[in-house]
């Protein structure tokens, strides 16, 4: 089975969705799935990753973007999306799995053409597919009936003009015509999908997973020693790619931390992991140990293990990878009852949930758990067991593989077909040294993958 993933970037360059896609890709390779990736930029990621086709003649895409952007229509300038069938990664694929279409990645208008020859999957890493432009609609429910008169034009991906009703119609028509298989990552997006314009499309819920062999309890004392943190203080952790992102709730966190009892605040350190931590440090009133932006999973697991609590003050999130990463390391989570967070942050078991925007309730949750050491220790074990049971990366990958197989069986009932030969690599694709985590799947036989003269097998 051959799967092609499409996203804006690999790993951290693609945000949380890019990290999740890369982890899934690597685990699918271990399962024997021939997995490839197309992104906006492919530098340094090995032969399993290549660049999405673009139309660069006369800078057409840039010129069209100058017009469509002013009209409030994002992404449709990507003419190269209609040339995806010229890329050998697409030609060799059995399934095309989209992880991100917006932010200049791919024109959704090309979906029906892509789906004409291959089954198409789209993962709801945010709720953009259901709305007229935004990744998160917050309290707005206009996406249910067609958008228009948008209250959040600045929400990513931002728009210069309100054309949300038109984009909602065009996007909905493209998804339905392509008969896209949706993957929801939580109960919240499942419920949203079922009352959206895409409610008649097939949908499967597959939660995120983490590598529990990497994200595991490392020992609090040893972890703090490695990070230079005192053993006799409370350590509260806040992690996000951009700590100043309003959606991630840094302003709510500051209000909560400033409200902690004086004696508790005097014994507390804030551990931050992400960009712009220095800006956050000035407003909390607590000593701050800023680790900066970390991409190394092992180092991140040490940081989670050093903390007493992970603070996750998000305003909107489909899931929150940092939450299950923290829980896999045995660290409970304090968050808000928003989005998909209640799926895995369960009050009294794996953490505490305050009501949305309630910074004082968030503060009370922090204080409650810090005062109850026995409760935190009990939660620590529950957190770890919960991730092992429901959110292990191997389980996520196996569920995807099962879904792919089911889709292929529905599309081609006589699945005794022999796989077509691979075509040579995409012209102009520069192979780089293969990385262990991107090691390609070996063919079952020489007959399965004939290779044109002058090319090596993928």
At 191, which CATH number? 3.40.50.2000
The encoded tokens of residue 100 equal 């991100």
Average pLDDT over residues 26-45: 90
In-domain check, residue 214: no
Same domain, 45 and 175: yes
Q: Say if residue 119 is in the same domain as residue 174.
A: yes
271 and 401 within one domain? no
End position of a domain, from candidates 358, 375, 390: 390
Judgement on whether residues 104 and 205 belong to the same structural domain of the protein: yes
Within a domain: 128: yes
100 shares a domain with 225: no
| Number of folded domains that form the chain | 2
In this predicted model, what pLDDT tens digit does every residue of 352-394 receive, in sequence order?
999 999 999 999 999 999 999 999 999 999 999 999 999 999 9
Band (pLDDT 50/70/90 cuts) for residue 414 is low
Average pLDDT over residues 263-290: 89
359 and 262 fall within a common domain? yes
Check pLDDT > 60 for residue 416.
no
Say how far apart CA 237 and CA 353 lie, in whole Å.
16
Average confidence (pLDDT) over 56-84: 94
Q: Does residue 8 lie within any of the structural domains?
A: yes
Q: The domain containing residue 330 runs over which residues? A: 220-390
Residue 377 shares a structural domain with residue 411: no
Residue 456 located in a structural domain: no
- In a domain, residue 449? The reply is no
For residue 281, what pLDDT is reported?
Answer: 73
At residue 456, the pLDDT reads 34
What pLDDT was estimated at residue 457?
33
One domain for residues 227 and 159: no
What percent of the chain clears pLDDT 90, i.e. is strictly above it?
82
Per-residue pLDDT averaged across 61-66, rounded? 95
pLDDT of residue 285: 86
Residue 451 lies in a domain: no
Is 204 a member of any domain?
Answer: yes
Q: Which distant-in-sequence residues (6+ apart) come within 8 Å of 31 by Cβ?
A: 397, 398, 401
Residue 419 lies in a domain: yes
Of 358, 390, 422, which residue is a domain's last?
390
pLDDT number for residue 155: 95
Are 271 and 332 members of one domain? yes
Indicate whether 145 and 232 sit together in one domain. Answer: no
| 8 Å CB contact between 48 and 458 | yes
Asked if residue 230 and residue 176 are part of one domain, the reply reads: no
Task: Indicate whether 383 and 427 sit together in one domain.
Answer: no
Under the banding of pLDDT at 50, 70 and 90, the label for residue 43 is low
**Averaged pLDDT score across all residues of the chain:** 90
Report pLDDT for 57. 83
pLDDT single digits (tens) 206-228: 999 999 999 999 999 999 999 99
- How would residue 277 be classed by pLDDT, with cut points 50, 70 and 90? confident
pLDDT of 430 above 70: no
Over pLDDT 70: what percentage of the chain? 90
For residue range 149-203, what is the model confidence (pLDDT) as tens digits?
999 999 999 999 999 999 999 999 999 999 999 999 999 999 999 999 999 999 9
């Amino acid at each position: 089975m051959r799967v092609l993933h499409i996203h804006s970037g690999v790993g951290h360059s693609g945000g949380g969705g890019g990290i999740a896609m890369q982890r899934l890709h690597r685990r699918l390779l271990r399962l024997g799935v021939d997995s490839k990736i197309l992104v906006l930029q492919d530098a340094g990621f090995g032969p399993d990753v290549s660049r999405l086709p673009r139309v660069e003649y006369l800078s057409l895409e840039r010129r069209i973007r100058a017009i469509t952007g002013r009209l409030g229509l994002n992404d449709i300038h990507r003419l190269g999306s209609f040339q995806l069938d010229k890329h050998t990664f697409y030609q060799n694929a059995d399934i095309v799995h989209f992880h991100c279409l917006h932010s200049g990645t791919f024109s959704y208008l090309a979906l029906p053409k892509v789906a004409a020859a291959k089954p198409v999957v789209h993962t709801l890493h945010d709720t953009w597919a259901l709305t007229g432009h935004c990744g998160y609609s917050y309290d707005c429910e206009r996406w249910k009936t067609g958008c228009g008169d948008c209250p959040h034009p600045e929400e990513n991906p931002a728009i210069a003009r309100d054309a949300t009703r038109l984009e909602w119609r065009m996007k909905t028509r493209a998804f339905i015509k392509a008969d896209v298989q949706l993957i929801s990552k939580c109960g919240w997006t499942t419920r949203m999908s079922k009352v959206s314009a895409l409610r008649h499309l097939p949908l499967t819920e597959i939660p995120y997973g983490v590598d529990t062999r990497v994200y595991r309890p490392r020992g609090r004392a040893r972890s703090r020693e490695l990070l230079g943190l005192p053993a006799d203080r409370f350590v509260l952790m806040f992690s996000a790619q951009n700590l100043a992102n309003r959606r991630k709730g840094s302003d709510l966190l500051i209000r909560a931390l400033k409200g902690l009892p004086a004696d508790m605040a005097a014994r507390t350190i804030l551990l931050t992991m992400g960009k712009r931590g220095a800006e956050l440090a000035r407003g909390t009133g607590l000593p701050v140990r800023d680790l900066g932006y970390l991409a190394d999973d092992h180092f991140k697991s040490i940081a989670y293990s050093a903390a007493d609590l992970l603070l996750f003050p998000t305003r909107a999130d489909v899931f929150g990878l940092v939450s299950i990463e923290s829980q896999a390391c045995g660290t409970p989570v304090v968050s808000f009852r928003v989005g998909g967070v209640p799926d895995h942050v369960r009050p009294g078991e794996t953490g505490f949930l305050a009501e949305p925007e309630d910074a004082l309730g968030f503060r009370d949750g922090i204080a409650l758990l810090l005062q109850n050491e026995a409760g935190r220790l009990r939660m620590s074990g529950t957190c770890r067991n919960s991730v092992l049971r429901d959110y292990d990366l191997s389980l996520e990958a196996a569920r995807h593989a099962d879904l792919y197989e089911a889709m292929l069986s529905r599309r081609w009932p006589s699945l005794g077909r022999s796989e077509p030969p691979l075509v040579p690599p995409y012209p102009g694709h520069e192979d780089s040294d293969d990385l262990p985590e991107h090691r390609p799947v070996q063919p079952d036989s020489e007959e399965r993958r004939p290779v044109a003269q002058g090319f090596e097998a993928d």
